Structure 1
């Protein structure tokens, strides 16, 4: 029998990847793992925020998302404003040219259809619209995979996000409220599915490789006997509220920081080592503020470079308190009880799905006394909650296997035939 050799499928990945946000890069890592396992013949490259970082870490070619390197800086001078305007026109051409070189483009996870953090319509929403419109015009299948969404009030941003979703060839969401939000914004979601966040498909570091305690010898290490206070991981965020909170952004940030510092002081006063963790490059300022305010050797800071680093730190902790969505996921994946400082519905939904819905606290109104009360209750139920997390993690992993199967059927229609052909070759005498 004569075999026909098909041309490798060209797959692009798109988003604010390589820009310092560990959650975004974790979503990319998950999709690349799927492609390398299920479609090793695919030729993959990226259009992203930090191409140098993506190429260095993931070994794929990458192109800068925006022609204007100062895209996300505030422009006040006439020259900078003109450059931004010109950049929008150039990006339309650049994006279309990039999309045209691919059969499939995947937007891996991330909250690309939401504005729960400050967002301008001419930034990423415009870039996403260019991608989806180019895909529809040029016949390239664009997939929004396990993405986050939220109903948006600002009309320009709402319109761009709505049309981006409508023009995509495939959509799935990381939780039911995301799908509900898109339906409320006028998108037909009848065929859209809900799956866990892509980060739940990443491997969990073995317990034996957990980070060693960096605190004084007098403090209890991870895995100490029951009743002995152990380390607490505190995931921080340079939090100023969401898109609708711009008028009170500084007040929100001050309350969050003051409440967090008071919480840390109480833990340190009880002899608990506290490990500060970030999820984005911008969070370093919050770490510095806490270290300055709580001058104690019990408070240390890590510099995680990936979700795997975060999981390693959290696996060594007794308990985690975190704000960022993917910091929560890392704690949940390692089976470590976590208390969430929530700034959006997505965090509350995630915690409820994983059996920890009672341990949510508003990030905009941090009350240190109430936070401590919830923290102590969480620690009392630690063993029970660890068993619950083991079960929920297995369920999440199985659901993501279904997600990847559905993705293959939607984006690689000839893949089943090709894989069956290869299997037949391997089994032939």
Structure 2
């Protein structure tokens, strides 16, 4: 008998707190339920993953400049060569494992700008290698959405078809894959993996008017918005500046939050434009840090999906600046579907009206969130039980139980 060899795969350790939070949740499950498993990663930021999570990690791409824009002939050639080399690198890595888990993330969507030969190609290589080499590849609690680009849609569809196990973080994700031609009859829907993370110790709700957490994003629209990306970005940043300024005029302290390294530019723009000591920026390095900030807030307004999750998980009444179906589905699941505002068309006046209504119902919404969080915890335990049944063979259980 040998211990299960488990790989984790994705854009992990690359500065996105939500992606790393999903990895943290899956590692927590593995350490609790399969402590003998030997785990390593193929990911975007291997050094960061090893440092933070204590597992060996390798680069997803042979070409270190994979995510830089290539304009010179040499850079273009290096990218092309990298795509070829990655076929063999990915297959060799997959072959060393019994199971590969893709933990959460929006790996089957293009709600943010995305090129088909970037991550969609890498995911296809992973799933195709798993099918050819007999390694079970599991897409666990992933997000999906309709995709307009034909090459991207084809790569995503075939990746899903070749995976041995699929589950989704919301019903619209499963619906999107079914519409793309994937048989989803055996695919389950569970809450986002981040709901499995530990929650900071409960504290008494702040006395109003308390601090407001505002989660911002370097938002340029989705993959189909490339032609007007800068217009969308300018409108979003201007709307957030106006909203934050209005809060400070009322004497409200504002705490700015991010969810990815690239969001820092929006924080800087707001701090410079509002220029008030009431506005400060948090330096969160994990979802746990975000949850601590949000647990201390009176209310929150958030754009990034995992900023929303953190706010809702700690029971803070939250208004979503929604940029994709996943945000709408999350708010509906948690009982706050009425508190949404379009991120592509931020209207500071209307946003302020919605925010005041949110605050008026704060006590009621905190009770709703407490109940919905209890349900999410139970559903995620069901997810992990199903995952063990699907991925880990009887021999592994026998190994665990041996004296």
Q: Scaled by the length of structure 1, what TM-score is found?
A: 0.92
**Counterpart of 2:44?**
49
Q: Distance in 1 between matches of 2:312 and 2:137?
A: 30
Q: Pick one of 94, 100, 115 that aligns with 1:99.
A: 94
Shift of 1:229: 1.0
Matched, 1:164 2:163: no
Choose 199-208 or 325-334, whichever is displaced more: 199-208
Of 245, 248, 268 in structure 2, the residue corresponding to residue 268 of structure 1 is 248
Separation in structure 2 between the aligned mates of residue 419 and residue 359 of structure 1, nearest angstrom:
50
1:269 deviation in Å? 0.3
Q: Is 1:408–1:415's contact at 8 Å kept on the other side of the alignment?
A: no
Residue in 1 that maps onto 2:81:
86
Alpha-carbon shift at residue 23 of structure 1 (Å): 0.1
Q: Is 2:2–2:399's contact at 8 Å kept on the other side of the alignment? A: no
Corresponding residue for residue 336 of structure 2: 356
| 2:21 paired residue number | 26
CA distance in 1, matches of 2:240, 2:234: 10
Cα distance in 2 for partners of 1:48, 1:175 equals 24
Moved over 4 A (4+): none
Three-state SS of the structure 2 residue aligned to 1:313 is helix
TM-align CA RMSD: 1.2
- Shift of the alpha carbon at 1:245? 0.2
Deviation at 1:420, TM superposition (A): 8.1
Greater relative contact order structure (CA < 8 Å, 6+ sep): 2
Corresponding residue of 1:111: 106
1:415 Cα offset (Å): 6.4
Aligned-pair distance for 1:151? 1.1
1: CA distance, partners of 2:383 / 2:117: 31
1:413, CA displacement in angstroms? Answer: 2.4
Give the SS at the match of 2:58.
strand
Alignment match, 1:411 = 391
Match of 1:151 in 2: 146
Shift of 1:419: 7.7
CA distance in 2, matches of 1:180, 1:409: 24
| Structure 1 residue 321 corresponds to structure 2 residue 316 | no
Give the Cα–Cα distance (whole angstroms) in 2 for the partners of residues 368 and 207 of structure 1. Answer: 32
Structure 2 distance, partners of 1:354, 1:415, is 39
Give the CA deviation at 1:207. Answer: 3.3
Partner of 1:343: 323
Aligned match of 1:334 in 314, 322, 346?
314
Question: Quick one: distance in 1 between partners of 2:400 and 2:50?
Answer: 32
CA offsets 1:247-292 (integer angstroms, 9 cap, x no match) = 0000000000101100001000000000000100000000000000
Q: What corresponds to 1:212 in structure 2?
A: none
1:314-353 CA deviation, whole Å, 9 max, x = no partner? 0000001000000000000000000000000000010011
CA distance in 2, matches of 1:270, 1:114: 39
Q: Where does the alignment leave 5 or more consecutive residues of structure 2 unmatched?
A: none
Distance in 2 between the 1:187 and 1:67 partners? 30
Task: Report how far residue 417 of structure 1 moved.
Answer: 4.4
Q: How does the TM-score come out when normalised to structure 2?
A: 0.98
The one of 124, 131, 153 equivalent to 2:126 is 131
In structure 2, C-alpha distance between the alignment counterparts of 1:174 and 1:267, rounded to whole Å: 33
- Give the conservation status (yes or no) of the 8 Å contact 2:236–2:343: yes
Equivalent residue, structure 1, for 2:171: 176
What SS does the corresponding residue of 2:114 show, helix, strand or coil? Answer: coil
Contact 2:317 2:362 survives alignment (8 Å): yes
Q: Where do 5+ consecutive residues of structure 1 fail to align?
A: 1-5, 209-221
Q: Which runs of structure 2 are paired with 1:380-399 in the superposition (5 Å)?
A: 380-399=360-379
Quick one: distance in 2 between partners of 1:356 and 1:141?
A: 37
Aligned partner of residue 172 in structure 1, secondary structure? strand
Q: Which has the larger Rg?
A: 1
Q: 2:167, 2:187 within 8 Å by CA — same for their partners in 1?
A: yes
Does residue 371 (structure 1) correspond to residue 366 (structure 2)? The answer is no
Partner of 1:59: 54
Cα distance, 1:418 vs structure 2: 2.5
Instruction: Please point out which of 284, 287, 307 is paired with 2:267.
Output: 287
